[in-house]
Structure 1
Amino acid sequence: MKLHWSPRSPFVRKVMIVLREKGMLDEVECVRSVVAFAAMPNQDLLSDNPLNKIPTLVLDDGRSLFDSRVICEYLDATGGGPRLLPEAGDARFAQLRWQALGDGLTDVLLLWRSELTRPNGISEILPKAFESKVRAAMARLNAEADQLDSAAFGLGHVAIICALGQLDFRYLENHWRQAFPNLAKWHAKVLARPSVNATVPKDDVSPGAVSATFDPNKPVIDFMSSQA
């Protein structure tokens, strides 16, 4: 199989965690695929995914799967080891709900970063709206940290881990661990998991992989500050 991949993408990271959890890492060739929100499509990727998004998984028979939720569920169903998405019952819907919350938080963080890099400047309302949603999502996760800890590791956990990883990767000095100590305690525990520790996002020097234009050392959000 071929995976259109990037070490920066939180949604690609979801797939990489699942591949490791299911013992399938050696079955996939990772191909560095550069995509950007405000750029022309990557033609190599476009032939496998008309939406021009990563991750995209190309199966051995030529079929392609996208997005991360579809890919992860496919890998979970075909790989070995315990199921990351229970087949039925409350446990299944708990994982699906957490996956929706984690993926949604990641979406907001990615859109916020795109807004911060706009050449024509930042709109007035969007950063406030993004910050409000991020704070609310983090507060909900902090309130549910004990449930996350007691539940069997699943796709919902994977999505939340990747959202928090994006927060650490692109939004420096935000103090989320001090503001949400229950969530921080759970995250520190799960970070010791080999599949999680091995997939921490990082920059690379692939052609076309250009860093953001905003100052990465200037905090965008500080969870310890009062909310307007």
Structure 2
Amino acid sequence: MKLHWSPKSPYVRKVMICAHELGISDELELVRSVAAMRKPNTAIMAHNPLSKIPTLVREDGSVLFDSVVICEYLNERAGGVLFPSQGEDRWHALRWHAFGDGLLDALILWRNEREREAPLQVLLEAFDLKTRASLEMLDAEAQALRAAPFSIGHVTLGCALGYLDYRFDALGWRAIAPALSTWFETLRARPSFAATEPIEG
């Protein structure tokens, strides 16, 4: 399988963490791909007209995107348990998965806005407010995260918090969510997270 990949994308990182957790990372051929909002990548577009990563090209040439679909596919392929099949564990995992993706969406839009020549202050303030509110809610759920079976929800929230470290160091999110920060440190110690820390290049 070929994966359009970047070492800086939190959505790609989510896929890679799943692959490591499932023991199938060596089945992925990583294709270094740059997906910039203002410069569509024709190599990616040959497989994904949206010019977004991650994009997975399977052995038969069929293509899967985005990270939500790819992670579930890898889990099924490996017979994994990252997506609980039923009960409260399933709904908690899927909610945290959606929460983490939503937080990442907001953070990436926030970063894009702050890098514009003339960013809109009202948007910067809105993204800041949403991020702080999300962190406060997740901080109140830190014990539930710790108690729940490891799942796609943990993976995705971990990627969002890692992206905060990588791109929003000045926010000081750990002071906003100290219980969440303690939980995140245990998550970062997992080999799958250590192997996928975002890097420049």
User: 1:65 Cα shift?
Assistant: 0.4
Residues of 2 paired with 1:162 and 1:31: CA distance?
A: 20
User: 1:158 Cα shift?
Assistant: 0.5
The answer for the alignment partner of 2:93 in structure 1 is 95
The answer for the alignment partner of 1:170 in structure 2 is 167
Residues of 2 paired with 1:68 and 1:140: CA distance?
A: 24
The answer for the alignment partner of 1:72 in structure 2 is 71
Q: Deviations over 1:2-42 (max 9, x none)?
A: 00000000000000000001111111100000011122x10
TM-score normalised by L of structure 1: 0.86
User: 1:192 Cα shift?
Assistant: 0.8
Determine which structure has the larger helix proportion and give its number.
2
The answer for the alignment partner of 1:27 in structure 2 is 27
The answer for the alignment partner of 1:59 in structure 2 is 58
Return the match for 1:116 from 114, 136, 140. Answer: 114
Larger of the two Rg values belongs to structure:
1
Question: In structure 2, what residue type is equivalent to 1:112?
Answer: W
Q: Deviations over 1:95-153 (max 9, x none)?
A: 0100011010011110011111113x101210011011101111111000000000111
The answer for the alignment partner of 2:125 in structure 1 is 128
Residues of 2 paired with 1:199 and 1:16: CA distance?
A: 7
Question: Is the aligned partner of 1:160 residue 2:134?
Answer: no
Residues of 2 paired with 1:59 and 1:38: CA distance?
A: 27
- RMSD of aligned C-alpha atoms? 0.9
Residues of 1 paired with 2:90 and 2:35: CA distance?
A: 32
8 Å CA contact retained: 2:132, 2:176 = no
State which drifts further: 168-177 or 65-74: 168-177
Secondary structure at 1:152 match in 2: coil
Residues of 2 paired with 1:98 and 1:50: CA distance?
A: 28
State how many pairs are aligned.
201
8 Å CA contact retained: 2:4, 2:55 = yes
The answer for the alignment partner of 1:183 in structure 2 is 180
TM-score normalised by L of structure 2: 0.97
Moved over 6 A (4+): none
The answer for the alignment partner of 1:212 in structure 2 is none
Uncovered stretches (5+) of structure 1, i.e. residues with no partner: 205-228
8 Å CA contact retained: 2:17, 2:193 = yes
Residues of 2 paired with 1:34 and 1:179: CA distance?
A: 33
State percent identity of aligned pairs.
51
Secondary structure at 2:36 match in 1: coil
The answer for the alignment partner of 1:47 in structure 2 is 46
Secondary structure at 1:173 match in 2: helix
User: 1:174 Cα shift?
Assistant: 2.2
| 1:204-223 alignment, distance < 5 Å | 204=201
Question: In structure 1, what residue type is equivalent to 2:55?
Answer: T
Return the match for 2:137 from 136, 140, 152. Answer: 140
User: 1:89 Cα shift?
Assistant: 1.5
Residues of 2 paired with 1:167 and 1:191: CA distance?
A: 13
